[in-house]
Amino acid sequence: MTPSDTSPKIARLALSTRSIAEVPAQAAKAAELLSMRGPGFSLRLDEATCIAMQMRLVHYPAGAKLFVAGDHTNTSYMLLILEGDVSVDTGVFVGAGKVDISVIGAGALIGELALLDGSPRSASCTAITPVIAAALSAGGLQRLLEQHPMVAAKLAIYIARSAGDRLRSLSEQLRMYDQLTASLQEEVNQLRASTAK
């Protein structure tokens, strides 16, 4: 094992991590969750198992910060949630002082884009319940590329698809904002007109 396998942050937050291969039931769960994805270029269970074998098991207590928005250190891993609930806070307000927070659970992938491009974390993720996750580091991805390139390709396609899903969801939010600002603008215009009378 090289030091890059476990980022300091995972180690600090989770107290200890170990190879998921040491816990076969969790390795099987990770593989099953990764293989449950759409048509074309999908990960077969044996391919998903290859990926799981490069992962490390991480436990977070309730309340732990998995990622902090804007953090540009320790961006070199992604997490597949195996058990528990995680709140994702993008820092975007959605009107009336409410912040856009979603809750995700088993099967969700977080931090996957930062793993690929080293960009800062885009959202803060907090464990609502105790959370068990499978972490794939940049080192793990590199080994996967070298040892099982076809599987690495399908994993990258899987990640690109997740990003596509999120792009569609954000575009939908933008359309809603569109309508909201248009109706607010109209109200402003009407109020101005009636004030001017």
Residue 38 touches its own copies, criterion: CB under 8 A? yes
Q: Does 68 participate in binding its own copies (rule CB under 8 A)?
A: no
Query: Which among 59, 57, 66 is positioned nearest to 26, based on CA atoms?
Result: 57
Binding mask 175-194 for its own copies (x = CB under 8 A): x-xx-xxx-xx-xx--xx-x
Q: Tell the smallest beta-carbon distance from residue 142 to its own copies (Å).
A: 8
Binding test (CB under 8 A) with its own copies, winner from 19, 116, 128, 143: 116
Angle between helices 138-147 and 45-52 (to 10 degrees): 130
Which residue from 77, 165, 145, 151 is spatially nearest to 114, judged by alpha carbons?
77
Q: How, if at all, do strands 99-104 and 86-93 pair?
A: antiparallel
- Regarding 45 and contact with its own copies (CB under 8 A), the answer is no
**Minimum CB distance to its own copies smaller for 61 or for 95:** 95
**Interface residues with its own copies (CB under 8 A)?**
38-41, 90-95, 112-113, 116-119, 122, 138, 141, 145, 149-150, 152-157, 159-161, 163-164, 166-168, 170-171, 173-175, 177-178, 180-182, 184-185, 187-188, 191-192, 194-195
